[in-house]
Amino acid sequence: MQTMEGKPVADVLRQRLEGQVAALRERGIVPSLHAILVGDDPASAVYVRAKAKACQELGLAAQTHRLPAHTSADELADLIDRLNHDPQVDGILLQLPLPAHLPTARFLAQIAPEKDVDGFHPENVGLLWQGRPRFVPCTPAGIMELLRFYGVTLEGKRAVVVGRSDIVGKPMAALLLQANATVTVAHSRTPDLAQVCRQGQVVVAAVGRPALLGAAHVQPGAVVVDVGVNRVEDRTLVERLFPGDGERLRELNTKGYTLVGDVAFGEVAPVVAALTPVPGGVGPLTIAQLLANTVKACLLRRG
């Protein structure tokens, strides 16, 4: 069984970008990413900081616009409008979730499509499904890089995506389809999930339920990508999922939780050919792909 780590893939992606960034710099151009963070959700703040840090490490300019939770729709719209029209701004990222009074779809659609580095604007979603992608959402785009890196062929394969979010499940299905896999998308109303998943030679789990997929959900030799990131505090569950894994228990003792994927790693690993770990699998690729999209936005507009 191959453990498909994300870091070596992210490193290759970054190396590729370093050359492009250096070439732009020689022409006096520094690609820039502007993140908008509304409210004080602690997880969102962590993600935005990590994205800004990754930008700076690659030599991109990163700016975070922090708005209070009570920001009005007009105030947010004004900021997006200003960034849309600023020629120095290459990428705009609206960190989700927004506070409940701000309609997400409206603001995602307001971002200029050519600066939409998350790939959530309806125009970019449409282009992806038409098979001529411009900006592809970062997590599924990163997963395609991971599968390429580990030599997983997709043409003619049966692929099952569990989860149908706009951020992961749906764009993942579009990319697998474009790679000539035969794709099934399962979700919370899918009866007999195990039977559906067992048909997948490639399975992508993007659900957000700890260890939902077990040995009964995979066929021998399958390639499994675990997108889920779930905080688990329950010691009994951790002991069941990672028997004899002292490090996990130490982490649980010190932090009070451990991060668990949607796939029961210990149960699934002996059955399948390849599996991503959590953490350390898909996670590192999401940010690397955001950097790639930002550089691409810069090249498309100013290249």
Smallest CA-to-CA distance from 39 within 82, 78, 117, 95 is with: 95
Task: Tell me which residues in 270-289 interact with ligand NDP (CB under 6 A).
Answer: 282-283, 286
* Closer CB to ligand NDP, 148 or 209, in the complex: 209
Is the Cβ–Cβ distance between 139 and 285 less than 8 Å?
A: yes
Please give the structure tokens belonging to residue 227.
């997108």
How many whole angstroms separate alpha carbon 208 and alpha carbon 271?
22
Does 49 contact ligand NDP by CB under 6 A?
Answer: no
Q: Provide the H-helix boundaries in the chain.
A: 7-26, 42-58, 73-85, 104-110, 122-129, 138-149, 169-178, 193-198, 235-241, 246-255, 265-268, 283-302
Catalytic residue annotation: 51, 95, 118
Site string for ligand NDP, 179-218 (x = CB under 6 A): -------xxxxx--x------------xxxx--x------
Query: Which of 32, 71, 95, 139 touches ligand NDP (CB under 6 A)?
Result: 139
For ligand NDP, the closer CB: 84 or 165: 165
Closest approach of ligand NDP to the CB of residue 96, in Å: 9
What is the footprint of ligand NDP within residues 208-267 (CB under 6 A)? 208-209, 212, 227-230
CB 185 within 8 A of CB 164: yes
Total interface residues for ligand NDP by CB under 6 A: 26
CB 39 within 8 A of CB 99: yes
Give the interface with ligand NDP as residue ranges (CB under 6 A).
139, 162-165, 167-169, 186-190, 193, 206-209, 212, 227-230, 282-283, 286
